[in-house]
Amino acid sequence: MTRYGGLGWVALIAAFVLMPGVSRAQTSASTELTFAKDIVPILQRSCQVCHRQGEMAPMSLVTYQEVRPWARAIKNKVVNRQMPPWHIDKNIGIQKFKNDTSLSDEEISLVASWVDNGAPRGNPADAPPPVKWPNSSVWQIGEPDLVVQFPAHLVPAEGPDLFGDLYTELDLDEDRYIKAIQTRPVDNASRRVVHHALSYAVDPDEQEMREAGDPDIPAAQFLVEYASGKMSEIYPENAGLLLEAWRKLRVNYHLHSVGEDVDAKIELGMVFHPKGHVPEHIRWSKQLGQHVTDLDIPPGKIVRTDGYVYFHKSARITAFQPHMHALGTYQCLELIYPTKGTPARTDLVSCTHWDYNWHMVYNYADDVAPIIPAGTVAHVISWHDNTEAFRNNPDSKNWTGGGGGGRTIDEMAFAWLGWYDMTNEEYEKELAERDALQEAVVVTNQQQ
């Protein structure tokens, strides 16, 4: 009796059944594949948002002349699922997400076959019209209802990591519930220096109180975390987070030097529920599952660490975002359910390969988002690689640990989890609905 929908294994079986036929069809048609007809639509949907003039990617992939020299490299990145960035392990756990930018097996096969066939251009008239991209990057949450920009902060060309806070006014005429939220550096230079940025709604006098050393500062309300390459957080339709109009906004930053002076600029975009709408649930986000032992990563070793968090209430987990630094390689989220007997019942919900440049948040589709009973333990399992063979390792001869201040060169191991609490009755009702749907799918497949 699965806790996250029960449809993933059905889809997996179907994929294996269909795969041979798809492969044969693509092989026989490979000579007909062209850039204009077959490849441009894939690039427009999943690549050009970054791979175009003025954006963060190192090359533009808009025209045939721009793409052709990179054909072999594109195939290598696509086949190995390094690009577009989406690091969920396709063989484990949930595979339905609201923000999935990955290519399908069919699209990967098209790209590979096109390259192997000489990367022909084809008839330019077969290509779809060029995308009219806006001047700045497209917001992944859609057009925000409110965009707030924090003051710029100078990061010198050389120096230690910088930690601190920036404040700005909140231009809001009434309280609103957040439906989706995204933090992002404003430009490419800022992206290079922003390690992370944590946004809060705070008391209007917090900055002055901090500067005066006042010990009784009112509690801040956490909104969202950003780290290198992070995508947006999209809440379920029946959940939101209250943003009160009387507050100010604060961003807690971690910046690092990159060899040239940079004015770091950070902005926060939000989509709201309609005015006056109060969602059923409050959606929370916290860093959970911190490693229970000190991070100890000796030279030449691969190390596993484990962290745990206990859920006192029934809940729906809406988002999973791993967090490690340069030596991180892989992280899993396992759910351990409360049972009286042994062994414990568990679900390995999600596993992800790790790339420090892409702190991805995986927003579960509503119909498969894990629902858990009170007493469930979320188990976060992380691996770090301090061997010479690991491509991202700057120096395999040095010991690495957690450090004292969370610097870029230190290591971490935890996950950002998004969730909302459920009553026990809500949990039991939804679990019964999912089990009934799973049984209906099984019966349907048996009858076919």
DSSP 403-442: TTT--TTS---EEEEEEEEE-HHHHHHHHHHHHHHHHHHH
User: What letter would DSSP give residue 35?
Assistant: I
Q: Is 13 helix (H, G, I), strand (E, B) or coil?
A: helix
In tens digits, what is the pLDDT along the chain, a chain of 448 residues?
446 543 333 333 333 333 333 343 344 444 588 988 999 999 988 888 788 887 767 888 888 899 999 999 999 999 988 888 889 999 999 999 988 888 888 999 999 999 999 989 988 988 899 888 765 567 888 889 999 999 999 999 999 889 999 999 999 999 999 999 999 888 888 888 998 899 999 999 999 999 998 888 998 999 998 887 777 888 888 999 999 999 999 999 999 898 999 999 999 999 999 999 999 999 998 888 888 888 899 999 999 999 999 999 999 999 999 998 889 999 999 999 998 766 778 999 999 999 887 888 898 998 999 999 999 999 999 999 999 888 878 788 889 887 655 677 788 899 989 999 999 999 999 999 988 888 877 767 766 6
Q: What pLDDT, on the 0 to 100 scale, is given for residue 342?
A: 67
Handedness of CA 102, 104, 108, 114 (dihedral sign): negative
Q: What pLDDT, on the 0 to 100 scale, is given for residue 397?
A: 87
Reference 230, options 185, 165, 177, 290; nearest CA is: 185
For 136, other C-beta atoms within 10 Å of its C-beta total: 12
User: Hey, do 146-279 and 284-430 end up sharing a CATH topology, with the first three levels equal?
Assistant: yes
Q: 96: which 2 tokens?
A: 């339905």
What pTM does this model have?
A: 0.78
Return the domain boundaries, the chain.
8-126, 146-279, 284-430
Residue 115, classified by CB atoms within 10 Å of its CB into exposed (0-12), middle (13-18) or buried (19+), is buried
Q: Rounded to 5 degrees, what are φ and ψ at 112?
A: -65, -45
Q: 326: which 2 tokens?
A: 């340069």
The architecture CATH gives domain 284-430: Sandwich (2.60)
Q: 341: which 2 tokens?
A: 């007997």
Q: Rounded to 5 degrees, what are φ and ψ at 321?
A: -135, 110
What is d(CA 261, CA 279) in angstroms, rounded to the nearest whole number? Answer: 44
Q: What pLDDT, on the 0 to 100 scale, is given for residue 17?
A: 32
Max CA pair span of the chain: 74
For 277, other C-beta atoms within 10 Å of its C-beta total: 11
Decide yes or no: CATH 2.60.120.310 for domain 146-279: yes
Q: What pLDDT, on the 0 to 100 scale, is given for residue 135?
A: 58
Residue 389, classified by CB atoms within 10 Å of its CB into exposed (0-12), middle (13-18) or buried (19+), is exposed
